[in-house]
Amino acid sequence: MKHLLSLEKLPREEMLSILRNVSAFKQGRKQDPRRPLAGQTWAMIFAKSSTRTRVSFEVGIAELGGRPMFLSATDIQLGRGEPIKDTARVLGRMVHGAVIRTYAQSDVEQFAEFSGIPTINALTDLEHPCQILTDVSTIEELRGPIAGKVVAFVGDGACNVPSSWIWAAARLGFEFRVASPRRYQPPADLLRRAGGSIVCTEDPAAAADGADVLYTDVWVSMGKEAEAAERRRELAHYQINRALVQRAKPGALVMHCLPAYRGLEIDEATFEAHAETIFTQAENRLHVQKAILDWIVQP
């Protein structure tokens, strides 16, 4: 039984095998006859908001021949306190796979353990593996192999998105730089466990110097709304803008996992100048997740 619970738990070979199939799903979207999810129903349990992840999984599951069943966590009994392991045992007897967006990583792991069906992490507080597999795939599509490149992340370096980036960098052999104030830097134990070429700095310009990719994410992740004012104050200098882009390699990609808050983590002009890249990145969620679904249902 395969799961995609985190990039930490996804071995390099499996990562590569997913990434290898993306272009076939993207190029062949209209005429691809493969239906690896034929006859299957996939539950999509979401405890947090989503546009890209929800739509790309619903469309992707349907295009692979399956039926997506969207379940808002607040509408099912989970939201009234039914334990995740009971929810998992019920759904495991009825559906063929699950895509889960929630807070605690342990909930996704428990669901996988108790349901006995393939389980995909669609974002937890700890990781966002589908996003970072997409980002790697997008960089390779636009700029060739990621090995040896430099990806500079500017913003909240302690949230799910940079955490998944750290595992990707360790497995795929590129340099990942994080520019954040000290208290928003990746946890020391994560850096120790992951290894790889990870550089943490408080200086966005130093992170951006000669980088192939500048990347950012929201300053206030879902679940951190109570800290919004404090985060906006403390992260105010960690914005991708024209001056920062000028430090990067000429022609560097500017990426954002979205949703974007103009004037905070990225300025309006820089966002719009790089919108083609950013929305290709968003579109690629669909193609990459089809490759993930296809991989996960193969024995």
Binding part of the chain for ligand CP, among 18-26, 51-59, 191-199, 207-215 by CB under 6 A, reads 51-59
Return residues touching ligand NVA (CB under 6 A): 123, 128, 159-161, 217-218, 221-222, 257
Is 130 annotated in the active site?
no
Q: Which of 52, 200, 257, 274 is catalytic?
A: 257
Contacts to ligand CP from residues 123-182, by CB under 6 A:
123, 131
CB 244 within 8 A of CB 205: yes
Peptide bond into 259 cis (omega under 30): yes
Find the part of the chain contacting ligand CP (CB under 6 A) among 14-22, 50-58, 79-87, 184-192: 50-58
Quick check: 34 and 264 in contact, CB under 8 A? no
Residue 95 or 168: the one with the smaller Cβ distance to ligand NVA is 168
275: which residues sit within 8 A by CB, 6+ positions away? Answer: none
3 catalytic? Reply is: no
257 is catalytic: yes
Contacts for 232 with CB less than 8 Å, ≥ 6 apart: 219, 220, 264
Beta bridge partners of 43: 69, 98
128 is catalytic: yes
Q: How far is the CB of 242 from ligand NVA (least distance, A)?
A: 24
The 3-class SS string of 176-239 reads EEEECCHHHCCCHHHHHHHCCCEEEECCHHHHHCCCCEEEECCCCCCCCHHHHHHHHHHCCCCC
Annotated active-site residue 285? The verdict is yes
**217 part of the active site:** yes
Report the residue number whose CB is nearest to ligand NVA. Answer: 221
How far is the CA of 244 from the CAs of 176, 247, 248, 252, 278, in angstroms?
16, 5, 7, 11, 17
Kindly state whether residue 221 participates in binding ligand CP, applying the rule CB under 6 A.
no
Contact partner, 102, from ligand NVA, ligand CP, none, Cβ < 5-8 Å per class:
none
Q: What is the Cα–Cα distance from 23 to 97, expressed in whole angstroms?
A: 24
* Residue 217 partner contact from ligand CP, ligand NVA, none using kind-dependent CB cut-offs of 5 to 8 Å: ligand NVA
> Which does residue 51 touch among ligand NVA, ligand CP, none (CB within 5 to 8 A, set by kind)?
ligand CP
Q: Which of 210, 225, 262, 222 is nearest to 240 (CA)?
A: 262
CB nearer to ligand NVA: pick between 119 and 134? 134
Catalytic residues: 101, 128, 131, 217, 257, 285
**Residue ranges that bind ligand CP, judged by CB under 6 A:** 50-53, 123, 131, 257-258
